[in-house]
Structure formats: C-alpha cells, structure tokens
Structure 1
Amino acid sequence: MSLLYASRPNTPRSAAGLYNPWLIVAMVALAPFMEVLDTTIANVALTHIAGSLAVSPDESTWVLTSYLVSNSIILPITGWLQDVVGRKRLFLICVALFTASSVFCAVSTSLTMLIVARVLQGLGGGGLQPITQSMYADSFPAEKRAQVFAVFGLVIIVAPATGPILGGWLTDHLSWHWVFLINLPIGLIAFTLIAIFVDEPELLVRERAARLAGGLRFDWLGLLLVAVGFGALQIFLDKFSIDDGFGSFFIRSLFVVWAVALSTLVVWEWGHPEPVVNVRLFAHRNFAISCLVMFVIGFILLSTTQLLPQLTQTLMGYSSETAGFALALGGLATIGLMPLAGVVTGRIIPARVLLVGGLVETGIALIFQSHLAPNASFYTISIDRVLQVIALPFLFIPISALSYVGLPPARNGDASAIINQVRNIGGSIGISFVTTLLAWRTQFHHARLAESVTPYASLHGQTLSQIGAAVQHQAAFMSYLDLFHILGLMALLVWPVVLLLSTPSSPAAEGVVYEI
C-alpha cells in the first residue's frame, strides 16, 4: 500500500476510492476538528462580544445557545440526509455552510445578526461529526476500526482542550472577530481536499437512486418533532440554572414541550417506514448500551472541562490563559495515548476490558480530586487533570468500535448521527447539572459554616466581613469537591453495564446482521 494510492479493499462503501484510506482519514478530520474547536473557542470571548455589541452578559449567552439548538436539531437527522442528498455532497454543503456562516459571525454588527449567523453555523456544523464517523466506519474493515477511531478521538479530545487557549489568545491579542475568522482558511482547505480526494462509492449512488426512484416519503411530522423536541431540550438545559430552574414558568413550559415532543417522536419514528431518526437502532443491544456509556462519557468530560477552569479562575486567582494551560497537560497526555489505544483495542486487550478499566480509573481519579486542597499548586491541578482524562482514549475508541457491531453497513450513518447526539446531550445535561448543583451545595455549605459565626467570633483578628468572605470562599470550594466526588461515583456505577456488550470476536456478534 502506497502513501497516496491503495488497492481497493473489501469495503464497497469506502469514501477512499482508489486512494489510501488513511490519507482520507487525515483530510476528512479537518472539518470536524474545526467544528468541535468552535464549540469551545467562543466561550472565552463572550465578555468581549457583549461589550462590543452593547448587550448584557446574559443576552450574550444566546451566542452559545443558538448554535447548540440548531446543532442539536440537524445532528439526529444527518443519517437520513446522507441517504437523500448523498454523503459527499452533504459533507461539502455542511463545510461550505459552516465556513461561510463563520465569516458572517465575524462581520456581525448586532446581537441579532450574530445569532442568525450562529444558527446557520450550527446547521452546517451539526452534520460534520456523524458524516466523518460514517466515512471512517465504511472505509475500514471491522478489525481496523479501533485504529481509525483513534484519529476521531484525537479530534474530539484535542479540539476542546485547545479551544479556550486559542480563543483567549485571539481575543486578547487581536479581537473576538478572529474567533470566527480562523475557520475561513481551515474550511477552504477542508472543502478543497474533500472535493478532490473523497469518493462517493457506486454502491451509495445506487442505493440513493433506488430510494429516490421509489418515491421519497418525507417524514414531516418526525422533522417537526425533532426541531421542537431537541430545540426545547437544549434551551431548557442551557437556561435552567440562569432562570431559577423549575421555579420559572418558562423552564417548566420547556420541560413539558421537549418531554412530550421527544416521547411522541420515539413512538412515531418506531413505526415509520422512512424515519428521519432511526430509533429502531436502539433495539440492538450493543448500540443501546454504547449510547448509554457515551452519554455518561459526554456528561463527565464536558462537566469537568467546565468545572476545573471555573474553579481555578474564581477561587484560586488563575487567569483564563493559565486555567487553559492547566487543562493542556491532560490534552497532551490523551494525544500521546490515543495511538496506543487504537493499537491495543481488540487486538491485545478486549474492548470491554478497556472500557471497564477506563471507567474505573476515571471514577477513582475524580474521587481523588475531591480531596483537592485550597492551596494546591498549578502542578498538582495539572496532574489531577491528567489522571482525569488519561483513560479517555481507552473509552472513546472501544465504544466507537463496539457501537457498530452487528449493525447493517447501510445504517452506519444513522448510528453515527444518534451516538453523536447522545454524547452532546450528555454534555449539555452534565453542564446544566453541575451548574445547578454547584449553587445548591454552595448554599448548603455556607449555611453550615455560618452557624459557627457569631458577632463575637474572630479569626486571627479578622473582621466579620472578612470572615463572611472566607466562609463564602470555603463553601464554594467544598461544593466543587462535592461535584468531583459525585461525578466519580457516576463513572464507577456505570461500568457493570459494559459487560453486556458483544465484541466482534464473540459468538453473539459474529455474522449477525440486524434488519433495522
């Protein structure tokens, strides 16, 4: 096999065509890296955006929410869109829309203009990750999927780790507009490489032609339920802690809307001959369990990625740049281990063993961090972060490979879309959960600590106001430790479910193809 060309393997759905599939892997990875990077790079620029556009900090959060809402709507129907539009064509459309809307974001002169641009950006970005995974799964035989998903794991882990650092540097040294403009050169390069090198296999062309020839029965109700359900769910999660939780009529209304819409969606799509979201995939045990584990991984990963910088900046005096560097060592560790995880998964160590070990290690590391001292050094915090994320390569790669076991190849696109949506929802719920619980636990610890404070109390000659500030600081710090402990217990409790997964070498998985 040469670097550029390769003999055509027994993968009729491959996106590589006559080219070396590893060459295509590197080219295709540019697009999802750009999209995942953008989900975090804008966070650090919100204060600058609010000041530049003369809006309040609360209003500026819609810059993030609008993207997440449109992203969550398009993501679950990406598999259906691939079947109708064509995989390569849809990928190029998504890259072009994401890149163009990034420029639109950069030149926005009002909050309304920026929100519209972010909605378009979310619609373009939503399809990039599942299409990439679909191409990876179709371009390699099952025994090599662990290695190729190591590349995708790098994208998912490295991009969020570098986003805050890069975003902070661009905002401080240039302006917030460059947070979006940086996507232009990356998008142009990705579009060009995909257009030239990525192949649309003949089998997919024939399947699409046959589907369109038989008459396209568009599932309008399913699409409406997806838009309303996932849109309301994302707003609900994003605004829950800001709008007083269930004490707000707006939040209660959103809860009813998304609960009813998504429940109806499952019932409707289960019996529809051409669903926009193929919920029947959940009838397959491996896929259902993989989604559950991926939900937990997304929950823990994004929660801790928010908690640690927030803790170091608000209570330990770190700048945004220093807080970003505290995360960077963990990112470097995962980069180094990702190729190793791709090699050992399934070949040397069974995927289920790696998953169990990864979840247990992550749980123990988080519980260990729940004993962090208030005067911990930068080195200690960085090492704790490394211990938190060092198992991620041994979680992402096995679960990505096992989720496709037993599925028909034609359903890889649907599976990729759903499992990415599950991970994103897990992350959104995790962030909302830790934000809300942080406030509750801070109130709890403050009340307990304040019980011992009296008008006659003194602490080394400090005034009552100084003691009050110290109590608030200690209560907040203890609340962060509580959250690390809870997240650690979550990781430790979920691992027994992994034992129910089938592996490609097991009798339960060999030669099994489910009609879904």
Structure 2
Amino acid sequence: MSGTVEKAEEWKPSGNPWLLILPVMLATFMYALDETVANVALPHIAGTYSVSSQESIWVLTSYLMASSIVIPMIDFFCKFLGRKNFFMLGVFVFTIASFLCGISTSIGMIVVARALQGFGGACLMPMAQSVCMETFTGEARNKAMAVFGLVVIVAPILGPVMGGWITENWSWPYIFFINVPVGFICIALAKKFLEDPPYARKQQNVHLDKSGFLWLCIWLIPLQIVFDKGNDADWFNAPWICWLSVIALTGAVLFFISQVKHKNPLVKLDVFKDSNYLCGTGMLILINAVLLASLAILPQLLQYMLGYDSFLSGLAIMPRGLGAFTALMIFGGLGGKISYKTYGIIGLLCLGTGGWMLGMLNLQINPMNIAIPNFVFGVGLVFTMMPITTLSCITLRNEQMTNASGLQNLLKTIGGAIGTSLVATMISRFSQVHQHGLVKSMNELNPNFAERINMYANSLIHQAGDMMNSTYLAGKMLYNQLIQQSTLCAYMTTFKVFAVACFILIPFMFLLKGEQKAKN
C-alpha cells in the first residue's frame, strides 16, 4: 500500500497539464449542460408527444437517476478498462444517446434515450474532478479546481438559456443534436492528450460487485418512482407507493450492508471515516438539490405566471452565470488571502439571500427583480461549491479520489433528482395552503370582495346579457385570480424554504478542516 501511495503522490503528467484536462472539462460541461438544457423545452416536448407536464418530468429525472446507478461503478470500470478508455467510452455512449434523443418518436423512447445519456455521462464529472486534483498541486490545483467549479456551476445555468434559444429558433430536438459534434471532438482530444497515472490504468483480475449493483437498482429505481409519482397518487394513501417505498428502503439497507461486507465493493464507504468528507458531502447534497430544484421551477414560474417564452425565461436565469463568473474572478484574484471557510460562509449567505429575494416576487415585477437575485445566487454557488468540494477531499489520499468523488457525485445526483421531484409536491401543497387562506376572504361579508365582484359584474353585463350571468362570470374571474395568486405564493414560499436551508448550513462550515493544506 505504501508503494501505491508513493506513486500516487509522485506521478506527474508528461505533457502540458492544462491540455490534459481540456477534454475532461469539455465533456463535463456537455454533461452538466444537459442536466438542465431540457428544462425550458419540457412544454414543447410534452406537446410533441401529447403528454402531461408531469409525465414530461421523466425526461429530467430519468437522466439523473440513470447517472446515479452508474456512478458507483466508475471505480470498477476505471480499473477494468483504464480511466482514459472508460472516459472515451462514456463520451461515445453519451453522444450516441444524444442523437437518439433528437430522433425519438415517443415519450417512452426519449425517456430511455435520456437514461442512456445518463449512463454514458455519469463518469464524466467525477473523473474530471479526480483528474484536476491529481494532475495539479498547490496554487495550480486551486486554479484547476476553480475552472472545474466554474464548469460545474455555469453549465447548468446556461442550459435553460441555450435550450430556450434553440427551442424558439430551431426546434427542441436540436438541444440534443448539438452534443454530437462536441462529443466526437472531445473523444479526439482525449485520445491525444489524456494520460492515466499508474494507479488509474487497466488492471488484471478486477471483479464487479454484482450483488451491490443489484441492491443499488432495487434502491434507486423504486425511490425515484415514488418521488416522481407520489404527489399524483396522494403519497402513502396509495398502496403501491407504500410497497415501492418498502422495496426502496430494503434495497438501500442491503446495498450499504453489502458494501461493508464485500471484498471489492462498488463504493468504499471507508471515506466516510474522514469527517471533512462526510460533512462536505452532506452539504453538497443539499446545495445541489436546491440548485437543480430552483432551476426546474424558475422557468415554469416565468413562463406560466409571467408569460415569458422559452428563450426569455432562459435568458432571465443568465445572471446566475454572470454572478458565478464574477465570483470566480474574485476567487482567482484573492487566492489564499481569504480562508475557504470564509468563502463558504459568504457563499451560503449569498445563496440564502438570493433565494429569499426570489421569494419576494410578484406579478408586477420588472426584469431587474429577477436578474439581481439570480446574480447573487450565482455568486453564492461559486463561493460554496468550490471551497466545500476542495475541503471535503483535501484530506484524502490521491488513490482514494476516484472512489470518493464518484460516491460524492452519486449522492449529489440522488439529492438533485429527489429535489427536482419533490419541488413539484412542495408547490402543490403550498398552493393548497395559500388557496385555503385566500378563500376565507372571498365572501360577501368582506367589503373589498363585494366591491370587486360588483365592479367586475358591471363591466361584464353587456357580454353576459343580464346581471345574474355577469355576476357568475365575475366570480369566475376572481376565482382564477385566486388560483393565480395562490400558485405565485407557493413559488415564493418554496424559494424561501430554499433560502432557509442554505442559512442552516452556515454553522457546518466551521466543522470543515484542512484549511492550511488546501492553501498549500
């Protein structure tokens, strides 16, 4: 073991390290972009296949959940094929699946193709993180992780913008077709520049933990169905939801037991003995859930409540990317002058503040009321994700990086998938609560209500023909306004919940260690 550690510490790439990470960064950008590029196109996809908006959500969650299933097997495939070969295979599968998404003729076909995309792309982000951590040291590592952080943060933010523009100007299949040339360019760059350190090359006598993979599937697939369909089925009032929940819980327990007992598990849980890794990973799970959930509902709010088209709703989220870029410039300029914990605390404050500002929106807002909180949110993402990701892994050995980053990304992806599914339930429940509160004021004893319904009735009397019909139409108009206001309040409450979740994480920054090692 000591020899392996020594080799891991001494290895250096033979070529330019920045050219070495170029293909993995490009592939990571492509993968992270596709996490959200379909968000603003969902109404168009649902219309093409004549399905409901709830059914179209599977286009998002199938991608995330398929990624979750593959992520724990990354360490095995890196050893079985060699990391470089596995990376190129993953990009190839992702590229072909993107083409299949574009030519899909049914909702079932595109869901399967998106799952195949997730299978192929799952390895890209964790391997990019490992390559950055292993290829560079000292200040260069900080710069490489800054680039990695920018890619991971900005790509999901640019997704709705690109998806909206392409959908409005061409058609939604092209949001997948654009991956094809990029994918093949990435494969060519990887073949030329990417190198494997000794411990990441093809190895003999590597065995797959088949039982662990089985329990993982039994855990994650029912779990995602429960979160996707639970709200429609009234949750545990539906027997099949109860049974799937029991199956998912059983699968989770047996998966973790099998990983502890197996000689060559899918994921080595011993990394959780590192308190930095445990704390940092938990924080990243929640932050990623907030990020993906907010990106899922903000375009809906802008399109359905404010009347934006796909492109404008994507463009309204663009300031997140500008905020992230600004924060990256600050991070790169100040370097080690500010502690990572300070960055993280400032970032969580920005995330919470941005979320709270989004929770103060109304139907009469101007574009700046959307741009400013998104900019603040983008600053917060860089100042949280980068230092937390670095500190969570800084105390691990190099040969632990692939397994640790894979496990971290597994849990982050599960958190993002669950967050994306649960946010629809949150809006539905909050809408019911606000509707119940508003309905109490809709009675004739309320002078404001009586005045408003009489005003509407008088304005509609020519259209209705008599006072009875005009009063009925006036009541219908007020009810539609009630639904609109309760739905808007539900979105606002959801964003405030996101803000509170970010504020709660601030004390956990003080539990992270390795500050001096990260600076060095």
TM-score, normalised with respect to structure 2: 0.88
Give the letter aligned to residue 479 of structure 1: A
| In the alignment, structure 1 residue 224 sits paired with structure 2 residue 214 | yes
Distance 1:468 1:49 in 2: 30
Cα deviation, residue 343, structure 1: 4.9
Contact 2:320–2:379 (8 Å) recurs in 1: yes
Which deviations, in whole Å up to 9, do the C-alpha atoms of 1:50-107 show, x marking residues without a partner?
4444555544443333323321100122123212321111101100111112122223
Aligned residue for 2:86, secondary structure, equals helix
Aligned residue for 1:194, secondary structure, equals helix
Contact 2:32–2:156 (8 Å) recurs in 1: yes
Contact 1:72–1:234 (8 Å) recurs in 2: no
Distance 2:182 2:300 in 1: 30
Distance 2:341 2:125 in 1: 24
Match of 1:278 in 2: 268
| In the alignment, structure 1 residue 46 sits paired with structure 2 residue 42 | yes
Aligned residue for 2:337, secondary structure, equals coil
Find the partner of 2:475 among 449, 457, 464.
464
Find the partner of 1:435 among 413, 424, 436.
424
Dislocated runs of 4+, deviation >6 Å? none
| In the alignment, structure 1 residue 240 sits paired with structure 2 residue 227 | no
Give the letter aligned to residue 175 of structure 2: V
Count of residues in correspondence between the two structures: 492
Match of 2:510 in 1: 499
Match of 1:358 in 2: 347
Over the residues paired in the alignment, what is the CA RMSD in angstroms? 2.4
Within a 5 Å distance, the mapping from 1:190-201 to structure 2 comes to 190-201=186-197
Moved more, 125-134 or 69-78: 69-78
Moved more, 444-453 or 231-240: 231-240
Within a 5 Å distance, the mapping from 1:318-397 to structure 2 comes to 318-344=308-334, 347-397=336-386
Match of 1:154 in 2: 150
Match of 1:308 in 2: 298
TM-score, normalised with respect to structure 1: 0.89
Stretches of structure 1 that go unaligned for 5 or more consecutive residues are 1-8, 512-516
Contact 2:40–2:313 (8 Å) recurs in 1: no
| In the alignment, structure 1 residue 399 sits paired with structure 2 residue 388 | yes
| In the alignment, structure 1 residue 90 sits paired with structure 2 residue 81 | no
Distance 2:351 2:45 in 1: 36
Distance 2:102 2:213 in 1: 30
Match of 2:466 in 1: none
Contact 1:102–1:181 (8 Å) recurs in 2: yes
Cα deviation, residue 449, structure 1: 1.1
Contact 1:146–1:343 (8 Å) recurs in 2: no
Distance 1:285 1:413 in 2: 18
Distance 2:108 2:290 in 1: 33
Find the partner of 2:96 among 71, 92, 100.
100
Give the letter aligned to residue 121 of structure 2: G
Match of 1:450 in 2: 439
Cα deviation, residue 35, structure 1: 1.2
Give the letter aligned to residue 184 of structure 1: V
Contact 1:171–1:178 (8 Å) recurs in 2: yes
Contact 2:23–2:187 (8 Å) recurs in 1: no
The verdict on how the C-alpha distance between 1:61 and 1:311 changes in structure 2, with shifts beyond 3 A counting, is closer
Stretches of structure 2 that go unaligned for 5 or more consecutive residues are 1-6, 457-473
Distance 1:149 1:389 in 2: 17
The verdict on how the C-alpha distance between 1:99 and 1:236 changes in structure 2, with shifts beyond 3 A counting, is same
Distance 2:320 2:199 in 1: 42
Aligned residue for 2:317, secondary structure, equals helix
Cα deviation, residue 157, structure 1: 1.9
Cα deviation, residue 356, structure 1: 1.8
Query: Larger C-alpha radius of gyration, 1 or 2?
Result: 2
Contact 2:316–2:370 (8 Å) recurs in 1: yes
Distance 2:503 2:54 in 1: 36
Give the letter aligned to residue 38 of structure 1: D
Give the letter aligned to residue 481 of structure 2: A
Moved more, 219-228 or 75-84: 75-84
| In the alignment, structure 1 residue 63 sits paired with structure 2 residue 79 | no
Match of 1:174 in 2: 170
Within a 5 Å distance, the mapping from 1:253-264 to structure 2 comes to 253-264=243-254
Give the letter aligned to residue 452 of structure 1: S
Aligned residue for 1:390, secondary structure, equals helix
Distance 2:499 2:430 in 1: 17
Give the letter aligned to residue 505 of structure 2: V
- Calculate percent identity across the aligned residue pairs: 33
Match of 1:29 in 2: 25
Find the partner of 1:122 among 97, 118, 121.
118
| In the alignment, structure 1 residue 299 sits paired with structure 2 residue 289 | yes
The verdict on how the C-alpha distance between 1:491 and 1:472 changes in structure 2, with shifts beyond 3 A counting, is same
